[in-house]
Amino acid sequence: MVGHERSRQLTADPLPPTLGLSDGNHANYLWDDHDRQVRIIDWEDSGRSDRAFELAEVCEHISRVDGALDAEQLLAATELTRQERERVRDFRQLLALGWFLMLGPDGPSAARNPAGTLERQARRGPSPARLTANR
């Protein structure tokens, strides 16, 4: 699990800094079959980020529990350094925990998500085996 010092390093040291959407909602990524390109919308939360966070956000966003995203396939197809893979793993752990807290009975997102969302997230959450396999 990510410790306090590692959490501080994750947020203080992007590798390398990049423009990011910072919102992994899959509805923000529109596939254009004709041009075979992804078009990105909803830039309200965008800003300075890094690839590791952006990939983790797409992999762990709650919108994927009912979708077809294979996070492990996405990560395997993305060229990442060892350090970036570690950061993706750590960000995924933090984001998964954040979703559990937001979807819990008293969480701010519990009321606006369909019944059973928390349970689906728990069943699909990142397993330690999957997260360490990406090292």
Does the pLDDT value for residue 129 go beyond 50? Answer: no
Please spell the DSSP secondary structure of 78-134, one letter per residue.
Answer: S---HHHHHHHHHHHHHHHHHHHHHHSTTSTTSTTS-TTHHHHHHHHSPPHHHHHHT
- Token digits of residue 26: 């899959």
List 37's β-bridge partners, or say none: 32
pLDDT, tens only, 1-50: 556 777 777 777 667 888 999 999 989 989 898 999 999 999 999 999 98
Confidence at residue 117, expressed as pLDDT on a 0 to 100 scale:
83
Question: End-to-end distance of the chain based on CA atoms, in angstroms?
Answer: 14
With residue 56 as reference, give the H or E element that holds it. helix 51-60
CB 1 within 8 A of CB 38: no
> pLDDT-based confidence at 109, cuts 50/70/90?
confident
- Residue showing tokens 């919308």: 41
Among candidate residues 98, 128, 134, the one with its CA nearest the CA of residue 1:
128
